[in-house]
Amino acid sequence: MSRELYACLFLREFPLQSQLRLRPELENTPVAVMDGRPPLETVCSANHAAHRIGTTLGMTRVEAESIQGLRLLSRSPEIESTAGEVFLECAASFSPRIEEKITGAHRACVLDIAGTERLFGPSQVLASLMHDALAAVGLRAAVAVSANFHTTLLKAAVSNGVSVIAEGREAEDLAPLPIDVLGLQDKEAETFSAWGIQTLGELAALSEVELIARLGQQGKRWRDLASGKRPHLFQPAEPKLVLKEYNEFEPPVEHVDSLLFVSIRMIDSLVLRVSNRALLLAVLSVTLRLEDKRSHSLTIRPALPTIDRKFLLKLLQIELAAHPPLSGVIALTIEAETGNGSKVQLGLFSPQLPEPSRLDVTLARLKAIVGDDMVGSPVLEDSLRSDAFHMEAFSVAGLDGDMIQRRPRMALRRMRPPHPVRVRCSEHRPVAFHDGQRDYSIFVAYGPWKTSGCWWAADDWERDEWDVLIAQEQQAYLLVNDRRQSRWYLEAVYD
């Protein structure tokens, strides 16, 4: 086994591939990508179907629009950035040591795969796995494996599918390749053309001393590249896990069904990416950029993390139905946060628990009916205001064992809404009250417990609370004097 072994993943026409990754319906359609500002836009990338009908790189928009059947797309840095992250993330699943190379409209990365034979098998098997993994995320790459860093780049740049170069045969495999693969300048290319050098094999056969005498050290570097002997100091980068999918639409999408059709591919890609890392999707943040330059945001938060794409798509459908965009959508962004699933081992005779997905769908439908702020889990606020709480998203969490073991000595049963009463006071203390039906004499009254707050806002409060004991029933009540409204209420009963 060689001490060095590299695999190159080469993406041709990356601006085009990044556009078609989430648009499989355009796979067999002539498509070209326009770059630049109007009216100076030119074709920077095109597929084979576009080249067959006469499309060439550098063609202006006016010339491209004259070709019948050609679909034109505008170049998008956001789409290319997202596709680049997916590309590096897919490569990182095979090796953590990655060096990226960008050349014009092409993009490549070289992986250090030395020592991975025990994980993935022989080089041919590993190269096929890489090729299939990239195809699964919508990218078509040429894969080349060699013991020399530069040889893998040169071979992948001119080949299709999977190529494996045996150690010691680098020069033989590179010999038929055209000399243009070295990326020579016009002057240097003319020099080699005048010498009659057309292939890398012919360049490697030249005398090293004579070549250095005429072209200097640059000539030696080209000869080493053609021979497959050029050394390289590997400079790996560490790609970060950024779960984001982005897509743009021309023309704007008006119907929710069409938007969901596009979202399927984006959710599938996110599910595949987190599955490769044994993770689950906990939160989906959806941002719609509208035609009127506004943004429309949605958040999908299942009760339990999941990778069920049909379930996530159903939640997105319900959210879009409850909160539809106000105008046409020109761009869609889906960002995800990961989470870990919970495993519960059931007993042999325990009843089967309901599926979490059914609960999420039910909650989403209830929110669409009564509103987002009316469904969830009530959480007490850190405030002296009576019965102050807010709603948070429902989540499945374990019970606190300490809370289960403790038994309260007294419970406060609140009346909702509080019952208005008339109170008779003596020496500023309540001695009796009437609830509309009968009178009650107060045997003992403790208080007042004064609370107030939010004096700077319209919903401020100021109240006196009294704990009273009724003589007739030996029952304890909570009486409240709302000083802002000058009214008394029977608010709770002590059990």
CB contact at 8 A, 8 and 123:
no
Q: Where does the pLDDT of residue 354 fall: very low under 50, low under 70, confident under 90, or very high at 90 and above?
A: low
Percent of the chain with pLDDT over 70: 93
- Closest C-alpha among 258, 341, 255, 334 to residue 299: 334
The confidence score (pLDDT) of residue 30 equals: 94
Q: Where does the pLDDT of residue 141 fall: very low under 50, low under 70, confident under 90, or very high at 90 and above?
A: very high
Q: Does residue 359 have a pLDDT over 80?
A: no
Averaged pLDDT for residues 155-172: 91
Label each residue of the chain as H, E or C. CCCCCEEEEEECCHHHHHHHCCCHHHCCCCEEEEECCCCCCEEEEECHHHHHCCCCCCCEHHHHHCCCCCEEEECCHHHHHHHHHHHHHHHHCCCCCEEEEEECCEEEEEEECCCCHHHHCCHHHHHHHHHHHHHHCCCCCEEEEECCHHHHHHHHHHCCCEEECCCCCHHHHHCCCEHHHHCCCHHHHHHHHHHCCCEHHHHHCCCHHHHHHHHCHHHHHHHHHHHCCCCCCCCCECCCCCCEEEEEEEEEECCHHHHHHHHHHHHHHHHHHHHCCCCEEEEEEEEEEECCCCEEEEEECCCCCECCHHHHHHHHHHHHHHCCCCCCEEEEEEEEEEECCCCCCCCCCCCCCCCHHHHHHHHHHHHHHHCHHHCCEEEECCCCCCCCEEEECCCCCCCCHHHHHCCCCCCEEEEEEEEEEEEEEECCEEEEEECCCCEEEEEEEEEEEEEEECCCCCCCEEEEEEEEEECCCCEEEEEEEECCCCEEEEEEEEC
Torsion of CA 87, 88, 93, 95, to 10 degrees: 130
Q: What is the pLDDT of residues 279-293, one digit of tens each?
A: 899 999 999 999 988
CA distance 147 to 410: 77
Averaged pLDDT for residues 451-468: 86
CB contact at 8 A, 345 and 300:
no
The structure tokens listed for 315 are 């939640």
- Closest C-alpha among 85, 87, 152 to residue 113: 152
Q: Does residue 11 have a pLDDT over 60?
A: yes
Q: Does residue 343 have a pLDDT over 90?
A: no
The structure tokens listed for 463 are 């109240």
Using only C-alpha atoms, the chain has a radius of gyration, in whole angstroms, of 35
Instruction: Classify domain 244-339 at the CATH topology level.
Output: Dna Ligase; domain 1 (3.30.1490)
CA distance 108 to 88: 9
The confidence score (pLDDT) of residue 399 equals: 47
The whole model's pTM is what?
A: 0.68
Q: Does residue 63 have a pLDDT over 80?
A: yes
Q: Where does the pLDDT of residue 45 fall: very low under 50, low under 70, confident under 90, or very high at 90 and above?
A: very high
19 phi, psi to nearest 5 deg: -75, -40
| Residue 266 or residue 375, greater confidence | 266
Q: CATH 3.30.1490.100 in the chain: give the residue spans.
A: 244-339
∠258-367-272 over CA atoms, to 5°?
50
Q: Where does the pLDDT of residue 55 fall: very low under 50, low under 70, confident under 90, or very high at 90 and above?
A: very high
Q: What is the pLDDT of residues 309-319, one digit of tens each?
A: 898 999 899 88
CA distance 66 to 54: 10
